[in-house]
């Protein structure tokens, strides 16, 4: 490998491989808590953990960090597995931290027996007060020096369910004077009489994150435990437990979490948006969840490419969502068929007066100029076609190359036409354009000698399929909602969804419904995907992304 192109985690891994640490073994894990759907930030972590193992011939576990019975659910477990697979990764083992509850409980007894943990009857407020502030040492709890036997007895009775929630906790006896607040006798077990989605009512005490995560890493012999920066201050505690319990020494390495502009990346906040109906669900195409952007039309490859490009940093930063869209456009430009759709509540009808009534031609139009192997498709043409209302101007400015009275354009893949007459209703609204076509100008066999500057898309009126099109925009109207003082729900973009009627080519609906193609480029309009809300009568399309960044300055 070229040394310069390694990120700092790859560098650590290569150093470990070079020194033969862990017998040259690389084993990572992706450890989601099943309390929500995965988002793009998780995708970064997934690509990092699985990517590292792939690159160095290692393995990756999928471990559900399910130690908080109140917030977790199997619906989330299923969605997480689905999303990881969709991203293109397969795990070595599927594990659950809850499967280690017995072992973790034994670890706790070991600490008690070593005089390194004690049962504390203090309230949560008292414990917080004892911890003090970072600039002055904390005060020891009055229970700190309980004898080992008493601690063991009380802890067993906690486990047996003798006490109500909050009556007692188990704390590690580390250092109440440490400048690192995490080391000031952290709580490692709490009482919670709650039903767990996997262990049912077996337990009424549950380990805290700090006494479950590293322990699970050790049990699975994880070599490199990658987590986000906020856990950096937890690392000394992570290592203290390894040392005192004499368990497998996994190495915790922190990296910057992904933050994206114009969205939030916290499951708690995303969950609120779902619960309060600001979006239609976890898979609403405006959501930064993997389920949401999948439905929006994002591809796994574009997400992996994005993760690659943003790389791994040691400082938190905010990534422009435009980069994610760029990765997507790059791929869709290469892979999608160009099709025609007129996105207009009131499309403009164009009648070709010198084209016989009832005549019909099949035009053969190339699917993708970027990819000749994508072939051509049949597009029906007839006397009446719809065009976009804004492709016609009655009083055009200079250099307007689309249609205007007396002007000529090419109908994509068909003929050159001339606008002869504008028909208006009583209110003065244009309802129809009467045009004539140049018979010798058929695309592919044009002998007319006429040069026109503009080409516009169209859909034959009798063949058009009416569709609903959902135009999505940013979910939030400020660049960094997470850093804003205002309530994040007040920062939602009121125009994040616009629903319009469209008329589309029949072939595209068939291709989408049969699954022959999933993503499309609607010529001059953007990239679109068929939505699951489609019915037999009415297809629904989501706009994945516009052709160009409409927000670029
Ligand atoms: P959230 O704050 O959104 O609830 P979390 O960290 O609590 O996220 P977990 O389910 O615990 O969610 O995360 C699983 C893994 O994904 C962890 O290793 C975590 O560090 C990583 N992860 C979560 N959010 C991001 C992010 N924005 N960028 C990179 N990695 C992330
Ligand atoms: Mg977490
Ligand atoms: Mg969380």
Domain, as residue range, for 27: 3-255
Q: Which of 456, 489, 504 is the last residue of a domain?
A: 456
2 — pLDDT class (breaks 50, 70, 90): very low
How much is the average pLDDT of 496-507? 95
Measured in Å, residue 49 CA sits from the centre of ligand 1 at 12
Does residue 193 or residue 513 have the better pLDDT?
193
Q: Which of 412, 434, 456 is the last residue of a domain?
A: 456
Instruction: Compute the distance between CA of residue 318 and CA of residue 237 in angstroms, rounded to an integer.
Output: 29
- When the pLDDT of each residue in the chain is averaged and rounded to a whole number, the result is 95
Residue 71 has pLDDT above 90, yes or no: no
CATH number at residue 426: 2.40.240.10
- H-helix or E-strand containing 41? helix 40-55
Q: pTM value?
A: 0.94
On whether both 76 and 134 belong to a single domain, the answer is yes
Domain tally for the chain?
3
pLDDT in tens, 349-374: 999 999 999 999 999 999 999 899 99
On whether both 197 and 299 belong to a single domain, the answer is no
In short, whether 267's Cβ falls inside 6 Å of ligand 1 is yes
Active site residues: 33, 257, 267
* Coil/strand/helix, residue 483: helix
pLDDT in tens, 90-145: 999 999 999 999 999 999 999 999 999 999 999 999 999 999 999 999 999 999 99
ipTM metric: 0.96
User: So what's the pLDDT on residue 74?
Assistant: 87
* Residue 551 domain-assigned (yes or no): no
On whether both 204 and 285 belong to a single domain, the answer is no
Relative to the CA of 49, which ligand 1 atom is closest? 18
On whether both 106 and 224 belong to a single domain, the answer is yes
Residue nearest to atom 13 of ligand 1 (CA): 32
On the CB side of 353, CA atoms within 13 Å amount to: 10
Phi, psi dihedrals of residue 274, rounded to the nearest 5° = -70, -50
Measured in Å, residue 266 CA sits from the centre of ligand 3 at 7
CA-nearest of 168, 163, 162, 159 to 118 is: 168
Strand partners, 183: none
On whether both 323 and 379 belong to a single domain, the answer is no
- Helices (H) and strands (E) in the chain — how many of each? 13, 27
On whether both 439 and 314 belong to a single domain, the answer is no
On whether both 234 and 371 belong to a single domain, the answer is no
In short, whether 44's Cβ falls inside 6 Å of ligand 1 is yes
Measured in Å, residue 190 CA sits from the centre of ligand 2 at 18
On whether both 298 and 362 belong to a single domain, the answer is no
pLDDT in tens, 383-415: 999 999 999 999 999 999 999 999 999 999 999
* Residue 462 domain-assigned (yes or no): no
């Amino acid at each position: 490998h070229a040394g310069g192109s390694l990120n700092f985690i790859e560098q650590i891994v290569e150093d470990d491989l070079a020194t033969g640490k862990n017998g040259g073994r690389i084993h990572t894990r992706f450890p989601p808590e099943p309390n929500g759907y995965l988002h793009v930030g998780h995708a970064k972590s997934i690509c990092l953990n699985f990517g590292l193992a792939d690159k160095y011939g290692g393995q990756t576990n999928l471990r559900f960090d399910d130690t908080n019975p109140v917030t977790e659910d199997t619906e989330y477990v299923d969605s997480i597995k689905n999303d990881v697979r969709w991203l293109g990764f397969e795990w070595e083992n599927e594990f659950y931290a809850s499967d280690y509850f017995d072992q973790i409980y034994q670890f706790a007894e070991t600490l008690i027996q070593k005089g390194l943990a004690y049962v504390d009857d203090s309230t949560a407020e008292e414990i917080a007060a004892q911890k003090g502030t970072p600039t002055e040492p904390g005060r020891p709890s009055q229970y700190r020096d309980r004898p080992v036997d008493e601690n063991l007895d009380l802890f067993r009775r906690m486990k047996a369910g003798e006490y109500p929630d909050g009556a007692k906790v188990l704390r590690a006896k580390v250092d109440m004077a440490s400048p690192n607040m995490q080391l000031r006798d952290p709580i490692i077990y709490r009482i919670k009489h709650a039903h767990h989605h996997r262990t049912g009512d077996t337990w009424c005490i549950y380990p805290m994150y700090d006494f479950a995560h590293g322990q699970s890493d050790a049990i699975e012999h994880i070599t490199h435990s990658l987590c986000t920066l906020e856990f950096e201050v937890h690392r000394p505690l992570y290592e203290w437990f390894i040392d005192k319990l004499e368990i497998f020494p996994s190495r915790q390495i922190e990296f910057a979490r992904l933050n994206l502009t114009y969205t939030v990346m916290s499951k708690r906040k995303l969950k609120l948006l779902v619960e309060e109906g600001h979006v239609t669900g976890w898979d609403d195409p405006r959501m930064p969840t993997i389920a949401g952007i999948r439905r929006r039309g994002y591809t796994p490859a574009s997400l992996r490419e994005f993760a690659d490009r943003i790389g791994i940093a040691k400082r938190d930063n905010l990534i422009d969502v435009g980069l994610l869209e760029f990765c997507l456009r790059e791929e869709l430009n290469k892979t999608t068929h160009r099709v025609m759709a007129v996105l207009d509540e009131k499309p403009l009808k164009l009648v070709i007066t010198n084209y016989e009534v009832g005549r019909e031609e099949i035009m053969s139009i190339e699917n993708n100029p970027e990819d000749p192997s994508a072939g051509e498709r049949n597009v029906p043409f007839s006397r009446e076609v719809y065009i976009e209302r804004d492709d016609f101007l009655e009083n055009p400015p200079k250099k307007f190359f689309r249609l205007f009275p007396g002007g000529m354009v090419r109908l994509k893949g068909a003929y050159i036409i001339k606008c002869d007459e504008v028909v208006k209703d009583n209110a003065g609204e244009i309802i129809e354009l009467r045009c004539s076509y140049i018979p010798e100008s058929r695309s592919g066999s044009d002998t007319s000698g006429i040069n026109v500057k503009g080409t516009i898309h169209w859909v034959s009126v009798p063949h058009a399929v009416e569709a609903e099109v959902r135009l999505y925009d940013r979910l939030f109207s400020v660049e960094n909602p997470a850093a804003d003082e205002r309530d994040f729900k007040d920062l939602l973009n009121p125009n994040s969804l616009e629903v319009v009627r469209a008329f589309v080519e029949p072939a595209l609906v068939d291709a989408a419904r049969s699954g022959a193609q999933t993503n499309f480029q609607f010529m001059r309009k953007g990239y679109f995907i068929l939505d699951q809300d489609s019915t037999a009568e009415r297809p629904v399309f989501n706009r994945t992304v516009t052709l160009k960044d409409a927000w670029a300055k």
